[in-house]
């Protein structure tokens, strides 16, 4: 699989500014991404040389000789309604971190609308959810995230290239915003119910995401996955 997204300044701004002289707004980034996806697919499949003249990419008389042996499914990232529609139009599948309720009301319906706009079959488009979590005392987990673990929720998080600024401003993120994207579980068993909530709203896959603490990873492997595999 290939996972793609519209990017964030902390990772790509310096490279982009060096090449283009500026860091584009989300609208341009998502359109660049969508056009690049179209170009990639054509490179993967074309048996002859072709010209590509897009709004952002121009490749005259080009062909990729080392093509993939099998189709590469593209999982298109989306956190909001507009991005979800783009994901449906230009991706094969969706990946998101939205809450179960937001997935049900906004992300999944807009994704499926985008799929239909391109004449594709929604039943063949999968939805993957990254479950961000902490295990332990919920208040302690909340303080930990406010100390730097939820930097992507800060104001202009995707526009600021300096990770120090992002980490410092995490303390300004409201608790409700953190709880919308992070599942603060007292025990690992609670993650089973979280995964079930996503299954009920239509998710096909869940990925458990946490920090680099091997104890948490082991807890998921020992207490969560065996139960899910039996369902």
Write out the chain's pLDDT in tens, 231 residues: 999 999 999 889 988 888 888 899 999 999 999 999 999 999 999 999 999 999 999 999 999 999 999 999 999 999 999 999 999 999 999 999 999 999 999 999 999 999 999 999 999 999 999 999 998 899 999 998 888 888 888 878 888 889 888 888 888 889 999 999 999 999 988 999 999 999 999 999 999 987 667 788 888 888 888 887 655
Task: Find, among 113, 43, 119, 45, the residue nearest to 78 by Cα.
Answer: 113
- Residue 100 contacts residue 198 (beta carbons within 8 Å): yes
Angle 87-192-83 from CA coordinates, rounded to 5°: 15
Using the structure block, give the residue that is written with the tokens 């079930």.
196
Alpha-carbon gap, residue 103 to 97, rounded angstroms: 9
Q: How far is CA 218 from the centre of its chain?
A: 24
- State the alpha helices, DSSP H only, in 6-146: 9-20, 26-45, 81-90, 100-102, 108-117, 138-144
In the chain, domain spans: 1-72
Q: H-helix or E-strand containing 163? A: helix 163-169
Angle 131-103-112 from CA coordinates, rounded to 5°: 125
Task: Find, among 178, 175, 155, 177, the residue nearest to 9 by Cα.
Answer: 155
Name the phi and psi angles at 205, rounded to 5.
Answer: -140, 145
Alpha-carbon gap, residue 50 to 61, rounded angstroms: 5
Alpha-carbon gap, residue 227 to 188, rounded angstroms: 11
Question: pTM for this one?
Answer: 0.90
| β partners of residue 62 | 50
């Amino acid at each position: 699989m290939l996972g793609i997204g519209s990017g964030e300044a902390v990772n790509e701004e310096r490279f982009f500014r060096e090449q283009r002289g500026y860091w584009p707004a989300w609208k341009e980034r998502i359109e660049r991404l969508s056009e690049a996806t179209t170009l990639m697919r054509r490179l993967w499949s074309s048996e002859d040389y072709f010209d590509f003249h897009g709004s952002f990419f121009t490749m005259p008389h080009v062909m990729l000789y080392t093509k993939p042996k099998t189709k590469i499914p593209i999982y298109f990232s989306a956190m909001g309604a507009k991005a979800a529609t783009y994901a449906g139009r230009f991706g094969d599948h969706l990946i998101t971190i939205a809450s179960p309720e937001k997935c049900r009301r906004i992300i999944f319906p807009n994704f499926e609308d985008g799929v239909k706009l391109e004449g594709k079959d929604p039943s063949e488009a999968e939805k993957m959810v990254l479950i961000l979590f902490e295990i332990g005392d919920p208040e302690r987990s909340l303080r930990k995230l406010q100390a730097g673990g939820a930097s992507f929720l800060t104001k202009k998080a995707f526009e600021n290239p300096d990770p120090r600024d992002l980490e410092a401003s995490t303390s300004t993120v409201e608790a409700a915003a953190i709880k919308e994207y992070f599942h603060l579980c007292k025990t690992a068993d609670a993650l089973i119910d979280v995964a079930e909530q996503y299954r009920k709203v239509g998710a096909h896959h869940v990925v458990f995401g946490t920090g680099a603490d091997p104890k948490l990873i082991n807890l998921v492997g020992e207490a969560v996955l065996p139960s899910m595999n039996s369902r």
